[in-house]
Structure 1
């Protein structure tokens, strides 16, 4: 039994009580119909059935026609063309070993990190040899002889902090750049 002051559903001839707290005076049934309609138009964010093959993300957007990865927008269920070479993604990396930091560049971050003795991948930024040379010049006062290794300094650490701002994991950022490169050529 409803109170005579309780709002009712705005849908013509419904007369059911409106759902309490709903942004519109609609009954639960009509709210569900509206949510289904919005989902068909805009998609529904949810967990993918399995990780995205392009970037490894778990979050997706489900449309009536299928799923898209919410991170890289890869069409779920399709796979990259195995005949194509992996796209080139040039990065400048910052790794730490004890009290020093290496600034280097690579187009295959995972392979390069497996070759270098380091304790931590601190940050990455897009760029190749030109960007690497610019960073070497920028931090030349901290450079150890003529190597790519630098003494830790407040300026260098501040630069790395700037690169890391909003980035919890440099590997996830690299995966996103790689998936974007895969998606761009598909």
Structure 2
């Protein structure tokens, strides 16, 4: 049986054994370069992102982007400007209860609250928090921000968490977007 040759017209280059596509080494390298330029390559950043601290980035021919907050690595961060305010409604689980609260400084706020798990963040301020409190009023422990778990509350939290592996990465992205809008 003859050795396979490259699929590209007028190329008779040999194909590596077990190659998933019949391309010679040169055409495979050209294809890989094209994919890299089109999709970027996920890799460890040369240094932590100055905006969110992530070590995961995407390498493009034009430079690096943070994979979490999409900050362009190397762009200046104006340390004299205060960080933008990003209000979030947070959902914490402690035992069989869920706390619905709001803050613009979630790391500081959540460090001060006993909880087992951060379930989700929702972009919003006190108005959104009040609407959630009203929506789940039947499950609320009187005069607190704590709620009994219910199918409706669990479904709401699940919808917020859908597709989000880490709520902190979502908060970092919202912060990055706020900085970008500020200019």
| 1:99 positional shift | 3.5
| 1:29 positional shift | 2.2
Which residue of 2 is the match for residue 67 of structure 1? 64
Q: Which runs of 5+ in 1 are unaligned?
A: none
Q: How does 1:119-138 map to 2 (within 5 A)?
A: 119-138=116-135
| 1:81 positional shift | 0.9
Which residue of 1 is the match for residue 138 of structure 2? 141
Instruction: Judge conservation of contact 1:93–1:123 (CA < 8 Å) in 2.
Output: yes
Instruction: Judge conservation of contact 2:88–2:102 (CA < 8 Å) in 1.
Output: yes
Instruction: Deviation per CA, 1:38-57: give whole Å up to 9, x if none.
Output: 53465433222223222333
Does residue 163 in structure 1 map to residue 160 in structure 2? yes
Instruction: Judge conservation of contact 1:89–1:178 (CA < 8 Å) in 2.
Output: yes
User: 2:16 and 2:95 mapped to 1: Cα distance?
Assistant: 60
Instruction: Judge conservation of contact 1:54–1:182 (CA < 8 Å) in 2.
Output: no
> Against the structure 1 CA distance between its residues 38 and 149, is the aligned structure 2 distance closer, same or farther, given a 3 Å change threshold?
closer
Q: How does 1:18-167 map to 2 (within 5 A)?
A: 18-19=15-16, 21=19, 23=21, 26-40=23-37, 43-167=40-164
User: 1:107 and 1:26 mapped to 2: Cα distance?
Assistant: 53
Using structure 2 for the length normalisation, give the TM-score. Answer: 0.81
Using structure 1 for the length normalisation, give the TM-score. Answer: 0.80
